[in-house]
Amino acid sequence: MLFRQYELGCLSLFSYLVGDETTGRAVVVDPQRDVSQYLEDARRHHLFIERVIETHFHADFLSGHLELAEATGAAICYGAGARAEFPLCELHDGERIELGEVLIEVRATPGHTPESISLVVYERAGDSRPYGVLTGDTLFVGDVGRPDLLAAGGYSAEELASELYRSLWGQLLTLPEETLVYPAHGAGSSCGKSLSAATCSSIGQEKRTNAALWYKDEPSFVAALTAGQPVAPRYFPYAAESNRRRRRLLEEDASPPPLDLDRLLALQQEGAVLLDTRPPEAFAAGHLAGALNVGLEGRFAEYVGDVVEPGDPVLLVTEEGKEQEARVRLGRIGFDTVVGHLPGIERLLAERPALAQVARRIDAARLAAELAAGPQLVDVRNPGEIESSGLIETALSLPLPSLLDRRGELEQGRPTIVYCASGFRSSVAASLLRRAGFAEVSDLLGGFGAWVAAGMPVTTPVR
């Protein structure tokens, strides 16, 4: 058996290649949209990818099933009841996929979504104990999948949580304790509350340490699981729907065309979004008016999905040579409307200083001094972060994924100071508010962490 796990840290995504080297037959499970790594590994090991298996319709990224099917002719497979615009094969509970000696057993594990499945992998068909189980978003290391993402689709969180309880206790936790657990996501994912940074676990370890599994009866499990979930990133419904559709294929090697400054400014005037992907420090030192700042490091695509409307034309400002990476990373969530990029932003701003704007960033001591004047203070962290660590007194909680829709709750003419945990999301949020017409916007250098480190007071949120 060839078993390979792939990790995409910027989206907390795990995907898998499972193959039988005696027959050359293989499957890919939950692929990211840029699929060259699977094709290269299959070629290197003389494998033929005959199926792309999705454990469910993903909401947090655009899957590469169409790209792999185009490249290999592989069948696209989902759990029973899945419906899409493209041809797919349904996999039913108990179905066995024989790759040769390697065997994959399908288990229906609804709860995160109705069509969710898990895949039990045996190195040899005659083995009494499985090697591992690919659990999708049903069981994570340290957590379980959230049941509330389909609340607008006719399913209540409580109904899906009950399904998830039965899937866990009836389908997955019945496996031998030494069975390895390989989930679809890790730490940082919004598909659960508190996922571990570990890349795999075992059924026995999860029984002992997974806090979500400590609720042994269904009512307690449902109550615990439906409370305190993080705010879902704003683009999730768009990505989930896009994964059901025929859509354009991602061209991994294509680079967005360069634009001159005047052309870029004209397109911006016509409504295109100017996305500056440089680090917050570089952005603050000088940028074009109306630019959104989402640094390319970290969870770039997710944060762009929080502050840019799907389908909006996008103009990129990047550090030199980073424009193709930015385009691919946006493509991973289905944001394919990159029009072009602007080379040499620092040189252009030096040549035309009248176009340059700076962003005001203040330290903890300055914020403490300015609070007496009564600015509107905005905390863009998730509720779970605030609950665990507190917040600055008078701060209004507006998590970044909800800021675009809820910015009307703020007074546009009043001085505004934004903070997050470290100063990264606050730069995103502050640039969004400036683009929306807020005249006096600052953000906190180092975020809430810097405030606490400076010994400043913290208050407990009212429950």
CATH of the domain at 146: 3.60.15.10
Position 269 in a domain: yes
Phi, psi of 134 (to 5 degrees): -90, 110
CA 325 distance to own-chain centroid: 17
Q: Is 253 domain-assigned? A: no
Residue 441 host element (H or E): strand 441-444
Residue 196 neighbours by CB under 8 Å, 6+ apart? 140, 141, 142, 143, 186, 187
Question: In 3D, which of 335, 190, 348 has the Cα closest to residue 259?
Answer: 348
Please indicate, yes or no, whether residues 318 and 376 belong to a single structural domain of this protein: no
Rg of the chain over Cα atoms, rounded to whole angstroms, equals 24
Residue 151 included in any domain: yes
Gap between the Cα atoms of 449 and 110, Å rounded: 39
What digits encode the pLDDT tens for the residues 303-312?
999 999 999 9
- 271 and 238 share one domain: no
Is residue 383 within 8 A of residue 231, CB to CB? The reply is: yes
Amino acid at 137: D
Residue 252 counted as domain residue: no
Distance of alpha carbon 32 from alpha carbon 243, whole angstroms = 11
* Same domain (yes/no): 306, 392: no
Q: List the one residue out of 25, 90, 35 whose CA is nearest residue 61.
A: 35
Our measurement of the distance from residue 386's CA atom to the centroid of its chain's CA atoms, rounded to an integer in Å, reads: 20
Residues 99 and 190 in one domain: yes
Residue 140: alpha-carbon gap to chain centroid: 15
Residue with tokens 């600052």: 442
b/e string for 203-237 if b means 16 or more Cβ within 10 A?
A: bebbeeebebbeeeeeeebbebbbeebbbbbbbbb
Say whether both 127 and 218 belong to one domain: yes
Element (H, E) at 307: helix 300-307
Q: Which of 242, 270, 301 is where one domain is finished?
A: 242
List pLDDT tens digits, range 190-241: 888 889 999 999 999 999 999 999 999 999 999 999 988 888 999 999 999 9
Do 275 and 312 belong together in one domain?
yes
458 found inside a domain: no
Kindly list the strands in the beta sheet with 13-20, ordered across the sheet, starting from the edge strand earlier in the chain: 2-8, 13-20, 25-29, 48-53, 75-79, 89-91
- E-only strand ranges, 216-359: 273-276, 287-288, 292-293, 314-317, 338-342, 356-357
Q: Is residue 229 part of a domain?
A: yes
Same domain membership, residue 228 and residue 128: yes
Q: How many separate domains does the chain show?
A: 3
What pairs with residue 76 in β-bridges? 52
pTM listed for this prediction: 0.95
> How many helices (H) and strands (E) in the chain?
16, 23
In which residue ranges of the chain is pLDDT below 50? none
Q: Same domain for 409 and 325?
A: no
pLDDT at 151: 58
**192 and 333 belong to one structural domain:** no
Instruction: To the nearest 10°, report the CA torsion of 432, 436, 442, 446.
Output: -10
- Give the pair of three-digit tokens for residue 228: 């305190």
Same domain, 163 and 198: yes
Instruction: Give me the CATH number covering residue 442.
Output: 3.40.250.10
Measured distance CA(84)–CA(451) in Å, rounded: 48
| Domain assignment of residue 309, yes or no | yes
- Name the nearest CA neighbour of 347 among 260, 420, 443: 260
- Asked if residue 303 lies in contact with residue 320, where contact means CB atoms within 8 angstroms, the answer is no
Q: What is the signed CA dihedral for 39, 326, 311, 54, rounded to 10 degrees?
A: 30
Question: And the tokens for 429?
Answer: 């949020």
Same domain, 135 and 195: yes
Amino acid 153: pLDDT? 63
- Domain end among 305, 333, 357: 357
Token reading at 162 = 């009950």
Are residues 233 and 99 both part of a single domain? yes
Q: Which of 115, 212, 122 is nearest to 168 (CA)?
A: 212
Q: Which residues contact 178 (CB under 8 A, 6 or more apart)?
A: 129, 202, 203, 204
Q: So what's the pLDDT on residue 194?
A: 83
Q: Tell me the residue range of the domain where 283 lies.
A: 261-357
Last residue of a domain, one of 181, 207, 242: 242
Kindly state whether residue 256 falls inside one of the protein's structural domains: no
- Token readout for 120 is 């039990």
User: What's the CA gap between 204 and 201, in Å, rounded?
Assistant: 8
For 118-146, letters b (16+ CB in 10 Å) and e give bbbbbbeeeeeebbbbbbbbbbbbbbbbb
